[in-house]
Amino acid sequence: MQSIMTTENASKPAITVRLAQPSDAHEICDIYNQGIESGKATFDTAPRSLTDIEPWFDKLDDYPVLVAVQDNRVIGFARLFEYRPRACYRQNTELSIYLSDSAQGQGVGSALATNLINLAETLGYTKMLSRIFTFNHASLALCKKFGFREVGIYRRHGQINGQWFDVVIVEKLLNQDETSY
């Protein structure tokens, strides 16, 4: 499969962003589980298994998954997924980006975001959305860098171990001038 984007850095091996393949599911699962363990990325508390990740590959035409690869290792992934099942929301998509612990702070999230946004536009989506913990400053900064706007905060949106957490709702309008509506 052809790479979508490769980044070069003289001091580190290149990072390639490409469409995920089913053979990447194990590494994607490991990275997702690191996000669960960190407590900063998801409300999920139980580790994911391959059977949780493998169905993502059944809908790649509408909801692609990208991976960032360095030294033949998946070090991050980004995916689009259904926002809501009602037909009126079909043009919207949610996104998530997860990085391995070792890949954070190295531009991997930016490489994945660039490619995911371009892919969403190519697929005809008009809006990307996400919900981010209010204390996940790295993810909020990444979204701001790529033109997402903060829509608001869902207070007491979910619980982890009996503790309530708030999330920031972010959105990015695609394929249109944001002032045209």
Nearest-CA neighbor of 123 among 64, 44, 65, 171? 64
Residue 81 has pLDDT above 50, yes or no: yes
CA dist 4 and 16 (Å) reads: 7
Q: Give me the CATH code for the 5-173 domain, please.
A: 3.40.630.30
Pairing of strands 92-99, 127-133: parallel
User: Which tens digit of pLDDT belongs to each residue from 135-175?
Assistant: 999 999 999 999 999 999 999 999 998 999 999 999 999 98
